[in-house]
Every structure is written in structure tokens, then in C-alpha cells.
Chains A and B, each alone.
Chain A
Amino acid sequence: MAGVLIIGAGHGGVQLAASLRDAGFDGAVSLLSEDPDFPYHKPPLSKSFMAAHDTALQPLRAEVFFEQNRIDLKLGTVVEQIDRSAKVVVCSDGRKIAYDKLVIATGTRARRLSIPGADLPEVFYLRTAQDARAMRAALPSMRRVAVIGGGFIGLEAAAMLSGRGVKVDVIEVAPRLLGRATSDAIAQQVANHLQSIDVTLHLCQTVDAITQKDGNVCGIDLGGNVLAADHVLIGVGALPVDMLARDASLRTENGILVDEFLRTEDADIFAIGDCVAFPQVHLGLRTRLESVQNATDQARALALTLTGSPAPYTALPWFWSDIGKLKVQIAGLSDEADEQIETRDAEGNLKSVYHLKNGHLVTCETLNSGGEHMLSRKMIAEGFTPTREQLASGDVKTLKQSYMAARNR
């Protein structure tokens, strides 16, 4: 019995192995991980992992969990090829591993910048534990860091560095932070917060080169204007790791194409997490999402499908990012929304933004307002929209009363 073979031991792959056992799957479960580290939580890498030089990685599950659940975890194993006709994967050491069902959960890799100086020793990316360790080792010698890219990873790291007393410049090519991941209003409040903790923002700026002196980073060149820097962090997005699927003649298009059951066009090959382009039920179109929630909820749905209770993936997306003292939380996807309602806290700071489409609540973005976020997840998933006045109040008790009243009706 060859069982289920999972390529990738990130949040999705590990959750799938766990959920298969939860669902009573009794066959073999193998997890192949290119990453040599024991499977770990990724979000802390840019924050708490940097807090002390010896902070340990936070394991996704304990070692004893893998033993007790008979999950065969093979670390540092690189899969080079999927042989669909023989139903085996071929590893870089020549080993062949058979499967009944194969799941690709290979995630993303950091998009690289190919500007001059990008290969200097003081230039970092932040994706894996190895990346984070390299950056952490350099922290004591950082005085002035240029962060290229105003996305979540870059901004989380910028806040962390600033908190350590490092002078930080963030360079973003767009006129605002966080791309299309948040509304303008949230991006502006994040910008205000970063400026309040002494991070300098450079918007509408392109980095032509990372400049060097004697082989070490000394600055970044913004179209002739050179900004001093002793280290550089590049956070300019991630690309799906979908080569294995492509090489096996499975269709890819910004990710591995799967149906609502997370199945590729090969009935025995599935894919989950950051590396898949799937039909997103709330948007009504195909998309790719990079988040812990997406990976773990897809794993849970797939475990049901693989154990004989086919479950389409329909979970409501949610997301969070801790940028300094600001917790950004997003419930739902706002791409198609046509109306926004903003709420503010007692001090007048932006607290939440509700997004409606055709009068229906589709998204809620919050800043340090966990109750609103959690309640919104329920309201959106269940298709409940409070009145505009109730939303505009931003008062969790009011919203909850309205939600409970509707639910009990």
C-alpha cells in the first residue's frame, strides 16, 4: 500500500497529514520536505524568531506527534520529477517513492531581484528558516537597513528592526504600501504607524542597484539618489513553486491549476496552499492566495475528499499581519467590493473598514480590533449584513446583538 504522499511540509502539508489521521485514514502517509528544518511556523520568522539570537523555531507539531500518527517525515528530500504513468516521484538522490495519491504542497519561493549588487553578502530575503537565521546572525551589525518592497514581510521586518534601534528605510515602487492586499485607508494607517516608530518611507521609488564598497553593501541607488545602507532586505513578493507539476505536464497558470476539490487534471494528483490557483467561491473566479488559513483549510477539505467524503473548498479567507504594535486582520476578499464604511476608535484612529458589494458585507479589515474581526468572519461566512448604521458604529456589542437576533429569527 503506497498511500498518500505529500510533497512539502509547510503549514498545508503538515495539516493534511494530521487531518488525514483525524479523518480516520489508516494507510501510509509520507511527507517529503526539501527544507532541512523540522516543520515550523513561518509567520514568527520576521518577528519573535528575531527577538533573541537563540530563539528556537516554533514547531508546527511535536516530533512525538509524527511518531504517534505514523507520519513518515523525510526532511531535506528534494523531489526532482513526478512520473505519472508509474505513479512514483523521483528524488535527487535517485530514490523512487511510490504513491496512490500525490499531494503537491510546495508553497512559494521569494521573488528575486536581479539588480546589480543583489548577490552581496549583506542582502537578505525572508522566506525560510535558513533565510531567517542568516538575517538574524547579521542583526547585531545592522545600523541602517534598506527594505525593498512595502508588502507584509518587508513591513513586519521594518517594524521589528526599528524596534531594535536600527534606522530603517522602506522603498516601495507603488504610490502606497501593501499593494492590493488592503484598502487605501488601511495602508495609510499602516504608513502612519511605521512613521511614528521612525521608519522612513520612500514611495514611488525604484531601486536601480545596491551599491558596494570593497564587496560590502554601502547603499542603494534610487535613480541617482544614493541612500546609505549597511544591509538590505528584499521582500518583493513570492512565486508559486509549481515546476514539478509543469514538468509533469500538469497545467499551471500563476500556480498549479486545481478544481474545487483541489484536484489537478490527473485524478490521483492534488495540490494545496500557496502554490495553487483554485476556483475561489467568494470571488467567483480563479485565484491564488498566500496565507496560513488558505493552506490549512485546504488541507482539511482535501483530507475529507481523500477519505471518501468529497468536500469542495469553500472556507472564507482570513489573514493577519503583526506590524509593530499594529495587528492587521482581514476577513474575506475585497476585490469586487463597491462600498466602504470606515470606523474609528475613541482617539480618532482608523479601527476598521467594512466592504460591501451590492449591499452585502464581503470583507472586514481591522486594526487592533480582534473582536470585530472574529465576528465579521462569522457574519460574512453566513451571509449576514448588519445595517450601515450598525457597521458605522464599529461597536462590537451592537454588531453582535444584530447578528444574534438575525440568527435566532
Chain B
Amino acid sequence: MTKLVFIEPSGMRREIEVTSGQSVMQAATTAGVAGIDAECGGSCMCATCHCLVVEAPVSLPKMETDEADTLEFTAEEMHDNSRLTCQLAVTEDLGGTVFKVIGR
């Protein structure tokens, strides 16, 4: 199990324990983290799973072009620490990462 932390749009901090083999978005929506609509279900299409990585014990895997392009042109401004969580796989390395949910 890997511990992930989400700061919901309301400011509420949520810690969840998740298994590998799914995306961070799937893990968050299954746990009911607020503010992640994941409208497209993980197809890198809607950017409603946009989060900022505010703390990462180890550096996260680099973005693919798809994720970078989608983020760059989405409604909410892209930041240096922006990620689409549907494109980020849960691995043990992610343990302790803190995500700030953008919401909409």
C-alpha cells in the first residue's frame, strides 16, 4: 500500500492508502477525494483531474507529450508542478506525495 495525500479545494487534507496498478486519478476518485471530476475517465481529454504536486519525496516520472500538451492548453493555468493525475501511475515511489486538487 502507498500513502497519498490530497488537499481538497476546500482546504481539507485527505490521506489515502492505495494499491499500485492504477492511476492516481483512479485511486483518488475511488476514495472520494473532492474536486477530481475525471470526466473523461482517464483519456487525457478533459483535465478535470489536474493537481499540483506540492510535496514529492522522490521526483515523479516525467510527463508524456500528451499530458504536457493537454495541460498547457487547458482552462486552468498550468504550473511547473502541474500534473494530470490520470496519466500518473501509482507506484511505491509515490509514497508520501502531496497533491493539491485544482477543482473547477
Contact = CB atoms under 8 A, between A and B. Distances in A.
Contacts of A377: 73
Contact of B40 (A18, A61, A65, A292): A292
Contacts of A15: 37, 39
Interface stretch (A72-80, A368-376, A386-394): A368-376
B5 to A, nearest CB: 17
A293 B47 CA distance: 12
B73 to A, nearest CB: 3
B93 interface: no
A218 to B, nearest CB: 36
A329 B66 CA distance: 13
A338 B30 CA distance: 45
B14 to A, nearest CB: 11
A285 to B, nearest CB: 26
Contacts of A68: 32
Contacts of B70: 370-371, 374
Interface string B36-55: 01011111111100000000
Nearest to B33: A62
Most chain A CB atoms below 10 A, which of B41, B70, B73: B73
B69 A371 contact: yes
A305 to B, nearest CB: 18
B29 A59 contact: yes
A61 B43 contact: no
Interface string A357-396: 0000000000000110011011000000000000000001
Given A44-B41, A58-B41, A320-B45, A374 B31 contact: no
Interface residues of B, number: 24
A292 B29 contact: no
B82 to A, nearest CB: 13
Nearest to B66: A370
A371 B72 contact: yes
Nearest to B9: A22
B34 to A, nearest CB: 8
> Is the contact region of chain A dominated by helix, strand, or loop, or is it mixed?
helix
Interface string B4-23: 00000000000000000000
Interface string A48-86: 000000000011011111001000000000000000000
A105 to B, nearest CB: 15
A374 B72 contact: yes
Contacts of A292: 39-41
B81 interface: no
A41 interface: yes
B45 A61 contact: no
B85 interface: no
Contacts of A371: 65, 68-70, 72-73
Contacts of B40: 43, 292, 320
B39 to A, nearest CB: 5
A374 B26 contact: no
B30 to A, nearest CB: 5
A296 interface: yes
5 contacts: A43-B43, A44-B42, A292-B40, A371-B65, A396-B69
Given A62-B31, A293-B46, A374-B73, 7 more contacts: A15-B39, A44-B41, A61-B29, A65-B32, A322-B43, A327-B43, A371-B70
